[in-house]
Structure 1
């Protein structure tokens, strides 16, 4: 099959030092710098194959491209279009041949993109020692350069979602082979890509500066650069936006905040994909190794009460561990019923008539701590004491991945099919502590057979049936409690014109493209 694609407030008030001055040209009204804050306290890495946090992914997405891309403003996999590859062929569903654009330049003095860079990047992305997304490429058998501008990827089995794996998202981002080999472990601190903006400077806990890539293959960016400020305080972020110090901010994903922002005349952007929230129950920590105890926890949690707090504009109630709207999502097992009396009865049957205590490491970010406080109060009604240790977000991530939390509240958005979520969160190969660990915090293994069979099943109907079976088994074993999908909430100044209609962004932040403008005051 042939597929031919056509081509005045001081930051001292917030406790931050001022950034170095941009050049006069960069600060000019004709070509200004766009100032953004995601609410991050800092960024951990700019290596696209290691960037897993929401804050890191948003910055990384401005510096890199994939072979194909989600159009700016879209998170729809049916809309994938050419990026570094200008065309491709798919032969027999297992062999994909990509024809690269000619003359695409890497940032700095790292030369032009070739097939060798693509081969290196995809092999790197598939290597668990160098990538956090290695499992995404477990179906790849061979990657080879046919000639300087042609890459062939051979799969072990047909993969309906393969194009999404080589998109401008997670492991699909293409790096400079020369730069990555030269910089080694320091590549994440000074990355080299092909995107519209290039890395310039990172001052810890203060800012990240990106400069326009004037050699960008889609054209010279209209903005001179991007400045990402570190403003973790919600109130300080609001003040910086209101005063005009910041042009684009991440808002609070709460209904009351959205309504308040709209009343103040803010341009509020609410877009997909929703980050799906699940309470993962860690059976490696007693007494959660007992099914009855996990069932009790599920019965004690009222998802409806949580949704009421979060709000209808920003939250979408879940009924399965696969997010709403993903290909293969199935709710035939039904949601867990809130029943405090049943929860107490189950605990007594499990030998805990006086209740239990569970420990949870909780992030202090506004999208997590308030929800976990609601969960804590709900569990208490059933005699389950949730001992919450509230820490900064980076510490929460690190300690959750060291198996220190009995209940892990985790939210994520992935490529929208069931395999992406089931493989990362519920396949035992992804369990915390395993050689190929990803985000299986519950150490769930009950659906391994169905998940793995679905991954290589070429028949669409059979694949859907296997995904359905996996979700039913995970539900019966209470590996996790589905809560809700939390949509992205950002606010932009009236001076900002994205240059596209923002309906979705798989990297969870509004893309700043070569077409994005910031008008004069």
Structure 2
């Protein structure tokens, strides 16, 4: 018996010693780690995807919602009450700045939603100008009447009306569950801002250190309730230039390089030391046209800009034809996609006529806002902006390209300061409302995520109607009508539906690219 135990230990100890940290080259610094305040995927990847969990999760392989912090839930017959039963003995992370005295309970769920929904909650005002963009754009303060604790392991959500998307919404990063105990500690100490800098969650990793524009280091959470990571720590090396990210993974300085350029993917295919992981993305790249700015408030002008745009040249130059041309807000394999809608044709002559009809026969001046560094949704921002600028010039529109750091760009764009804006959206769970409510509703104008700043009562009614019933046929009818309005009003210049990809070292296994742009490193092994 002693020999058998010793042999087992000899096998186990080397295996543990072989665990290595995982280094990932990422494209940008996060806005912070309090994910509810922000709407960028970069921030979600750095916070919700590694530090936190939500009540439920979306299983991308099975294409269904699965338990997470709640191991089961019930819905009342009238669709107005959702009761979630929490997984027992889930521990919050123990860090150098917080030591929890209890496991996750209903108080944490009530706090996490209360701060977003209740204006009387002290944390609601603390968040400041950034607000709660996802909760606001989806109308959750109006939808959710109450979140109440039934007992320590049970929490009840009461809705003001039935909503077919409610559980799907809870899979999103902003629905992460925070420690009420930690929040109270910060509030009493007069340090509420530290919630964004020193996060505490229930996720597989916990924050060790962060140097802005350089590196984020995470330790493995030893008390994680789920499948523990197979790596010995996680490092995000912030590398804005996509080509440099590709070079770093080739040199072994990173094991995974996110958001590579198509040209870097082509080079990596011939390298035996590297692997390419990719999947069609549930994402749309677009240029938002600010309808609250003259002359973009005129549909004829917006249509003219669409018809001036040479999408074929753009997709070849920027995406190397790895993205398909976009027409509607979401990719064409999404249920309810209206395939009867045809893209605006490339017709500069007709575009000039429309401008003249709108009172701008000699064109006008505008700006094109774009981020400095590439991403899945915009691999080469500078080249794309210059192509659009040249297309506009052909119809007399003089556009100044403004390159703005990502965090500042998002901040100013949410305030509606842009004219035209290169942007993209990644859905979270395959539901069309994941695009409609945050990007086209009137609530989303208030929260700032509706980058076209367009509020239309008829469109709002269609979005609401689509959420109100679980009947997919009825929802499809509402969403097809909504797509017609969005297209006819020319709120965007649709660009493309990209492919999500990453370059990894050949000795990395267990990593999968998410069509939603989310990151899960728990199954990754570095040999």
Is residue 56 from structure 1 mapped to residue 67 from structure 2 by the alignment? no
Correspondent of 2:415 among 394, 399, 402: 402
| Structure 1 Cα separation of the partners of residues 435 and 423 of structure 2 | 12
Instruction: Report how far residue 62 of structure 1 moved.
Output: 0.8
Shift of 1:190: 0.7
Contact 1:275/1:485 (<8 A) preserved? yes
Q: Equivalents in 1 of 2:280, 2:221: separation in Å?
A: 28
Which residue in the other structure is 1:37 paired with? 25
Return the match for 2:268 from 261, 266, 284.
261
Structure 2 CA distance, aligned partners of 1:229 and 1:321? 32
| Selected match of 1:297 from 291, 305, 309 | 305
Asked if the contact 2:283/2:515 (under 8 Å) is kept, the reply is no
Instruction: Give 1:490 deviation, angstroms.
Output: 1.2
* Structure 1 residue 330: Cα displacement: 1.9
**Paired residue secondary structure (2:193):** helix
Aligned match for 1:504, one of 514, 517, 521: 514
Task: Report the alpha carbon displacement of residue 386 of structure 1 after superposing the two structures with TM.
Answer: 1.7
SS of the counterpart of 1:468? Answer: helix
- How large is the RMSD of aligned CA atoms in angstroms? 2.5
**For 1:205-260, what per-residue CA distance to the aligned partner results, in whole angstroms no more than 9, with x for missing partners?**
22111101111112443222111112223343233222211111114243x33212
Distance change in 2, residues 1:503/1:222 (3 Å): closer
For 1:75 and 1:281, how far apart are their aligned partners in 2?
A: 35
In the alignment, what sits opposite 1:84? 69
User: Which blocks of at least 5 consecutive residues in structure 2 are unaligned?
Assistant: 1-12, 187-191
* Conserved? CA contact 1:141–1:155, under 8 Å: yes
How far apart are the structure 2 equivalents of 1:75 and 1:406? 39
Preserved CA contact (<8 Å) 2:283 2:330:
no
Contact 2:416 2:453 in 1 (8 A): no
Moved more, 449-458 or 345-354: 449-458
Q: Deviations over 1:119-139 (max 9, x none)?
A: 221333446845222133342
Deviation, structure 1 residue 468: 1.5
Q: What secondary structure sits across from 1:70 in the alignment?
A: strand
Contact 1:272 1:503 in 2 (8 A): no
Following TM superposition, by how much is the alpha carbon of 1:276 offset from its aligned partner in structure 2, in angstroms? 0.8
- CA contact under 8 A between 2:165 and 2:467: conserved in structure 1? no
Runs of 5+ unmatched residues, structure 1: 1-24
* Aligned pairs (5 A) from 1:168-183: 169-183=172-186
Please list, as runs of the form range in 1=range in 2, the aligned pairs for 1:264-413 lying within 5 A after superposition: 264-265=271-272, 266-311=274-319, 314-366=322-374, 367=378, 368-413=381-426
Q: Deviations over 1:464-484 (max 9, x none)?
A: 222211211222222222221
Cα distance in 2 for residues equivalent to 1:390 and 1:123? 37
Match of 1:490 in 2: 502
The offset of 1:292, in angstroms, is: 1.6
Do 1:270 and 1:314's aligned partners in 2 also have CA atoms closer than 8 Å? no
For the structure 1 residues 360 and 219, does the alpha-carbon distance in structure 2 shift closer, same or farther, using more than 3 Å as the test? Answer: closer
Per the TM alignment, residue 142 of structure 1 is displaced from its structure 2 partner at its CA by 2.0
Contact 1:214–1:221 (CA under 8 A) maintained in structure 2: no
CA contact (8 A) 1:362 1:409 kept: yes
Shift in Å at residue 458 of structure 1?
Answer: 5.0
* TM-score normalised according to structure 2 size: 0.85
Q: Which residue of 2 aligns with 1:453?
A: 465
1:176, distance to aligned residue in structure 2 (A): 0.9
Where in structure 2 are the equivalents of 1:129-140 lying within 5 Å? 129=124, 130=127, 131-135=132-136, 136=138, 137=140, 138-140=142-144
Contact 2:35 2:44 in 1 (8 A): yes
Find runs of 4+ consecutive structure 1 residues off by over 6 angstroms: none
- 2:154 corresponds, among 150, 153, 156, to 150
Mark the CA change 1:103 to 1:505 in structure 2 (over 3 Å): closer, same or farther: farther
Question: 8 Å contact 2:148–2:156 — kept in the other structure?
Answer: yes
CA separation in 1, counterparts of 2:241 and 2:471? 50
Aligned residue in 1 for 2:4: none
- Does residue 105 (structure 1) correspond to residue 91 (structure 2)? The answer is yes
TM-score w.r.t. length of structure 1: 0.86
| Higher fraction of helix | 2
Q: Distance in 1 between matches of 2:365 and 2:418?
A: 12
Q: Which residue of the partner structure matches residue 9 of structure 1?
A: none
Residues 303-355 of structure 1: CA distance to partner in whole angstroms, max 9, x if unpaired?
23222334477313222124433343324332111111100111122222222
Aligned partner of 2:443 among 423, 429, 436: 429
> How far is the alpha carbon of 1:64 from its aligned partner?
0.8
474-483 or 440-449, which deviates more? 440-449
Q: Secondary structure at the match of 1:105?
A: coil
